[in-house]
Structure 1
Amino acid sequence: MIIGGSGLLLAAVKSLFQQRRIVEVVPYSKSITTIELPAKWDDNEVTRLLQRYQDQPAVLAHAVSSIKTRLVMNQDLRTAKKRLQLIASVIELFKLNQALQSILYDIHLAEKDFEIRQVEADTRLEDAHSRRKSEHRLRDLRAQRDELQLQKEIGQLRRDTESIDRPVRQEPQLTAEQQRAKRHAASEARLDNLKQQKQEALKIADPDERVQKVNAIDDEIQRELQGEWRNSL
């Protein structure tokens, strides 16, 4: 009886541990901001977490960085790539601005870095012939990584230059009705784009990837319908 009770207690403790969430304070934010990270990977939880902070690029960047460190970079190559691809696919559905574009570059760079480290580890265990093939693969991966880094830096330089050179332009004053109509039209355009993306996602061959992508798009459609679209009616 005591043994049975101990087993139930251990099971309860294990269940509580599995449900535990990690609370982090976001540094450099204007006010004290905390985020809750899942203690273990869950596609739906990670998707909801990213969606929650899509309008706060600094918080989103911190969340992505923490997820990569805690739940991605300690995995095998196949699992890590799948998780990074899910993160990228969710962020690509957001209204991409310059800050979010930089986060996407960081995700793709992390994927390349992880793959490079994996190939480097495998190379140390190979014979001479296989090692030559791996070294060629490494050169290609490093070139791809350097190209991504260069694109990120060029984009940042272009944004910095535009912010200096672009004159401050006075927008014509719109009536409240015109502003509402403009917001509604923009929301309609985003919904149309999401529906097109969903049609493309339904063609994905891999069932797990297809379900993840479609669910993420459906969530984003609901957020848009219940948010800007409804508010601008």
Structure 2
Amino acid sequence: MLRLYHLLLGSILVVSIPVGAKFVIPQFFPPKAVKPPTVAKLANSKEGNIWQKILGNAAAPTNWQVAPCEGNAPLLCISSKGERLGTVEINVYPLANNEDFRKKLVADNIPIGSQVDYQSPKYQNQVLPALKAWVTDHYTAFAKDRQSEYGKEITFSAYPPQAVPIGKLQGIRYGFAGIKQKGGVQEQHIGHVAFDGTKLYVITTAFDTGTQTGKFDKLEDLAIFQPYLYAIAADLHLP
């Protein structure tokens, strides 16, 4: 029953995208690669694929498989009958290299450089505004790029950010879509972001021909997997 509900939910979300396109928010345009361009990531080459350590319940539709991709790239592979359908990417950004996010934490009176109780209601209420501000600022940087690339041919719509559990952390789920004026979906992006006191975790996937990693080749496959991605994010071994 749960799997059927999730399947229907994923389909409904995709069908309902054009309705959401009515509230176009210029400051929320999605980038081609969901990563801050000036922030260094944690090295992953010596430790292998990080998904091997953090993956909890690998929820998947019937006859689909979810497992860390082979190699050191931080990718989660989704496949069916031996065919790869898509991948989910996680990037980890150390706070020490992220001055902009440090400023957001200071503005919200969140202590830096000290141990925090990330499960306390007080801390969660403090960190969520900083994460929402990160989402806003992160996508503002790409607004002009998208406007110049697509002009009026594509209408962009941002889903309202939602507070969700990401492992034991309190995080934000966000998403964006590009709707063709003549009908159809040009792109759809789904993201999760969380902070553990020292590192920012950004989990992304998309339907977008311009995205190299963390993507699905077919929109319908992303729609089917979307609710399972939510379940996977909630059960990650984070922090």
TM-score interval, smaller chain: under 0.3
Bigger strand share: 2
Q: Normalising by the residue count of structure 1, what TM-score does the alignment of the two structures yield?
A: 0.25
Question: Normalization by structure 2: what TM-score?
Answer: 0.24
Pick 1 or 2: higher relative contact order, CA cutoff 8 A, min separation 6: 2
Greater per-residue helix proportion: 1
